[in-house]
Structures are given as C-alpha cells and as structure tokens.
Amino acid sequence: MRYSPGRPSWIGREKEPELTATIHEWETLSTEDGTELSVFVARPAAQGDHNTGVIVLQEIWGVNAHIRDVCDRFARLGYTAVAPDLFHRTAPRFDAPYDDRSGREHAMKLTPESVRADLAATHAFLYARLEPGSDDPRIAACGFCMGGRLAFVANAMFPLACAVSFYGGGLASHLELAAEQHGPFLLFWGGKDTLITKADRRAVADALEEAGKRFTEVNVGHASHGFFCDARPSYDKEAAREAWGLVTAFLATNLDE
C-alpha cells in the first residue's frame, strides 16, 4: 500500500503546494573514512532553481520503500531529498521488510565516527547539488526511529535550517548535543510507544529547554511507535496525516524563509 501524501495546506508560500513529477536516482559518494556511500536522491522534475533540501534518515530497515516514499513526498513539495544508506559498510543497499529484524545487527555495528562520516558526505553532496541555484542553500533533516536520533546528531553537526525527529529511538542518550542544536527542532512521540519511555521524552525536552533551543514537541497520545509508516501494523492514518501537515508547515516556516 502506498502512502498517499494528499495536498497539505500551505500558508504564506508562493509556489505550488505539490509538484506532479519527480526524478529518482542513486548516487555513490566517497566518505572521509575511505568507504563508498550510496544515497537515494529524489528531486523535482520541474525546471528551475531548487535551493532547499532534506536529508532523510532511515530506520533499521534501511533505505526501504517507506524511506524512498518519504523522499518522493518531499520532492513533490519542491525539495531535493537525499537518504544515505547508513548500513553500507556491512550490508550495502540493505532493504528489509518490517517483519525482518536483522537490521538491528547492522545498527549495532554503527560507530559515532562512521555515522558522522556518512552525515558529512551526505550534507556536502546535498549542499553542492543545491548551491548552483542559490548563494544560500538551506538544508533540513528528517529521521525516523534510529534516524530520528541521527537527525538530532546532524542538527548539531551542521547549521541546518531545522530538523524533524519521528519517535527518535535512543535520542535521550545524546542529551549533550542539546546545546549544540542549530535549527529549530520538531519532535514526534507516540503516547503508546513502549520503546521510548516517558522519562526519556521528558529528558529530551528538558535538555532542549535548558539549552534555550527552539523546539516543538508533539505527543500523539493514542499512537504507537512507527505510527507514520503505512507498512507497519502500528500505522495510524489520521495521526500520520496530521503529522505530515505539521512537518510541511514546519519546513515552510523554517526552510523556505
């Protein structure tokens, strides 16, 4: 089943709310540790300057159909979206169904150094892709579960315009990065998420508040972990549609200005 993006309401945005055609391609990048990183790219097919982009960060199931679909949805809104294959050192182009948990093994083999190398290569690639159209390319990050945590890391590494985290697993283990966040942060939690405790959610919000950072926290009380993904049993159609509307408004406010 494909996730239908609908047509979100755009307030104060001049361009069309949704483009009709996108282009998809895989690119290979060199990282600072000497490995080769594949990235999935979705971009608007329409001609013109596209100077805004989104780094899309995967779950443990790889750059799978869901992550590629999210990239496509961003491209339909006029952004260039790039999803790095974070498991490329142990399982290149890993793409698993949601009943396959083998991605945990690859996630456990990630190191802070390898993650930062991949994020740096992805950010540099996207910046270079956008730069010809503008003197000031603007980039955001959006991640899911493991990727939600890595969006927090990316927003600390780079001067991102903003970042979005969906049910960021392990995000509370990186509270030292709260003071280093650059752009505003949008966090989504599921109230019935058994993988992320209320204490962890509270710790993240407290750390951002204490650091004086601009952030918005959305607790979807009736939803579970993974509620945004239509390929998972925990998918909640209404919650996903509402969340997407908030994401598009958040990007319109912080990425398009």
Q: Which residues 6+ apart lie within 8 Å of 165 measured at CB?
A: 142, 143, 148, 149, 151, 152, 171, 185, 186, 187, 188
Residue (of 190, 185, 221) closest to 205 by Cα position: 185
Average pLDDT of each block of 10 consecutive residues along the chain (257 residues)? 32 46 94 96 81 96 96 94 97 94 95 97 94 76 98 98 97 97 98 96 98 98 96 96 97 90
Q: Is residue 145 annotated as part of the catalytic site, yes or no?
A: yes
Rounded-to-integer distance, Cα 175 and Cα 183, Å:
16
Which entry of 50, 88, 106, 225 is annotated as an active-site residue?
A: 225
**pLDDT reported for residue 50:** 74
Residue (of 172, 220, 225, 166) closest to 194 by Cα position: 225
**pLDDT reported for residue 13:** 35
Which residue's structure tokens are 């069309």?
16
Q: Is residue 229 annotated as part of the catalytic site, yes or no?
A: no
Q: Residue 191 burial (CB < 10 Å; 0-12/13-18/19+)?
A: middle
pLDDT digits (tens, 9 = 90+) for 32-61: 999 999 999 999 987 666 789 999 999 999
Which entry of 50, 66, 123, 145 is annotated as an active-site residue?
A: 145
Rounded-to-integer distance, Cα 23 and Cα 34, Å:
28
**pLDDT reported for residue 14:** 38
Rounded-to-integer distance, Cα 117 and Cα 128, Å:
17
**pLDDT reported for residue 21:** 82
Q: Is residue 50 annotated as part of the catalytic site, yes or no?
A: no
Which entry of 85, 118, 193, 236 is annotated as an active-site residue?
A: 193
Rounded-to-integer distance, Cα 238 and Cα 226, Å:
13
